[in-house]
Amino acid sequence: MPRLSHTLSTAGLAFLLAASVAGCAAPTTDTTGLVATSPGACRPTIVPTDTPDPTEGMTDDERETYFNEFEAGSVWQANAHEIIDAVRTGFPDDFATARMMNPDVGFEVSFAGAAPAAALAIISTATVQYTVVENVGFTEPQWYTLTTEMADAAEDLVTGLSWSAGIDPYSMKMTIDVSLGEDDEAGQATCRRIDPAELADAINTNLATAGVDTYGFTLEVTTRWGGYRLE
């Protein structure tokens, strides 16, 4: 079975960095050459959105139907979780990923190479729909380890900044998320200039120097102001 193609929207990956630091004082560059800090009121304009209540505006009957369907969904998820746990535990050298979809599609399990016959036998006992993906090229422990290796490769380049590392095995993207600034105790804003492409190149160089197998994953540097993503 061919590997499924997963895509992730990259809208906004230019990060609008120039707009986020408009009006800042001339920056000073640290020894990495990748990060510069500017004092001043340079926070971008960000309008957060609230998560809507899915039952808002429903009648009592509609709300009851909604929650009955939600509870029914929990039943199919329980069966899927049982199958996934059995495969993950029984085939650690083959298992790559698993995710819940919806009651109509069920769940998905992927394997680094060909799916073992015994694993397929377990999956076939599911009472819901399922999809098996083969030959993704990496196991779950391998992409877990890759997250740590990526963070190690980035650490010296983002010293002194607030940042995090993450990985999405479905889109095959590794992400370093860096905070451009936040208010200090006195309420003064500080912003930082970062070229995402330069930082990504430097991290990739460190990964290659360390001999890290990235299994075809691509690296993306994202930026944010405080808790809000800039895109």
Q: What is the pLDDT of residues 97-143, one digit of tens each?
A: 999 887 777 889 999 999 999 999 999 888 888 899 999 999 999 99
On the CB side of 37, how many CA atoms lie within 13 Å of its CA?
13
**Residues 167, 155: contact at Cβ < 8 Å?**
no
Selected residue with higher pLDDT from 209 and 18: 209
Lowest mean per-residue pLDDT among 7-11, 29-33, 34-38: 7-11
The chain-wide mean pLDDT, for the chain, equals 73
The whole-angstrom separation of Cα 125 and Cα 128 is 9
Closest CA to 178 of 197, 192, 198: 192
The whole-angstrom separation of Cα 194 and Cα 37 is 9
Q: What is the pLDDT of residue 179?
A: 80
* Per-residue tokens: 206: 């460190």
Model pTM above 0.85: no
118: Cβ contacts below 8 Å, ≥ 6 apart: 90, 91
Q: Is the pLDDT of residue 89 over 50?
A: yes
Q: What is the pLDDT of residue 192?
A: 64
**Residues 139, 96: contact at Cβ < 8 Å?**
yes
Q: What is the pLDDT of residue 101?
A: 83
Three-state DSSP at 219 gives: strand
The whole-angstrom separation of Cα 76 and Cα 178 is 38
Q: Is the pLDDT of residue 52 over 70?
A: no
Exposure letters 78-89 (e unless 16+ CB within 10 A, then b)? ebbeebbeebbe
Q: Is the pLDDT of residue 207 over 90?
A: yes
Q: What is the pLDDT of residue 66?
A: 73
What are 8-23's pLDDT values in tens digits? 222 222 222 222 333 3
